[in-house]
């Protein structure tokens, strides 16, 4: 059993407001500090913060805001980002590096480069996306505390 495994899940969640670029990144920073304070190895904290940041920016830019939750239980960290935005029309396309639906005004700020979901996939050990057009998107990314020997899987589902 992983020495970092926990019996009781540790859960925190934060609200992300739409187009609030001033606060964007605070949730990722907050989660990273929390994980560090819990003794999670730096490399795992780094992965979790990148995944959170990208999920947070997606909620800020595309999702009309949302809720980002961090759960630490057993052998894994799970980051769940839920929004009630427009949904993702084509998840496969959105997973491709460089594909973006962000407007020019957002792209000029250095966002919307089409690397958000690919970064999340890259730094997650498991990734599941549930999305429904006009209803919203829920992304669930798992980061294993001890990823050695685990196979990377991803499951993308469009409802």
Partner 1 sequence: MKIRDILGNLEGVTTHVAAGEDVEITRGFVGDLLSFVMGSAPEKALWVTIQNHVNVAAVALLKEVPLVLLASGRVPSLELKDQCHKEGIALASVNMDSFEVCGRLFAMGVRN
Among positions 4, 67, 69, 113, the unique one binding partner 1 when judged by CB under 8 A: 113
Paired sense of beta strands 136-144 and 153-158, if any: unpaired
Q: Are 95 and 121 in contact (CB under 8 A)?
A: yes
Residue nearer to partner 1 on the CB measure, 32 or 76? 32
Q: Kindly report the CA angle at 41 between 37 and 43, in degrees rounded to 5? A: 120
Q: Could you say whether residue 14 binds partner 1 (CB under 8 A)?
A: no
Among positions 16, 35, 40, 49, the unique one binding partner 1 when judged by CB under 8 A: 49
Name the segment binding partner 1 (CB under 8 A); options: 8-16, 28-36, 70-78, 137-145: 28-36
Judged by CB under 8 A, the chain residues 50 through 89 that form the site for partner 1 are: 50, 53-54, 57
Which residue ranges make up the site for partner 1 (CB under 8 A)?
21-22, 24-26, 28-29, 32, 46, 49-50, 53-54, 57, 109-111, 113, 115-116, 118-119, 122-123
């Amino acid at each position: 059993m992983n020495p970092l495994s926990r019996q009781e899940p540790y859960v925190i969640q934060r609200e992300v407001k739409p187009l609030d670029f001033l606060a964007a990144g605070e949730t990722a920073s907050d989660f990273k500090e929390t994980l560090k304070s819990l003794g999670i190895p730096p490399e795992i904290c780094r992965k979790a913060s990148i995944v959170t940041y990208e999920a947070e920016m997606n909620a800020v830019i595309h999702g009309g805001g949302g809720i980002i939750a961090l759960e630490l239980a057993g052998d894994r960290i799970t980051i769940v980002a839920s929004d009630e935005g427009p949904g993702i029309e084509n998840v496969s396309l959105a997973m491709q590096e460089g594909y973006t639906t962000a407007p020019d005004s957002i792209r000029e700020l250095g966002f919307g480069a089409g690397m958000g979901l690919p970064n999340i996939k890259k730094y997650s050990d498991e990734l599941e996306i549930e999305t429904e057009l006009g209803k919203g998107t829920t992304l669930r990314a798992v980061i294993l505390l001890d990823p050695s020997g685990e196979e990377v899987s991803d499951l993308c589902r469009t409802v």
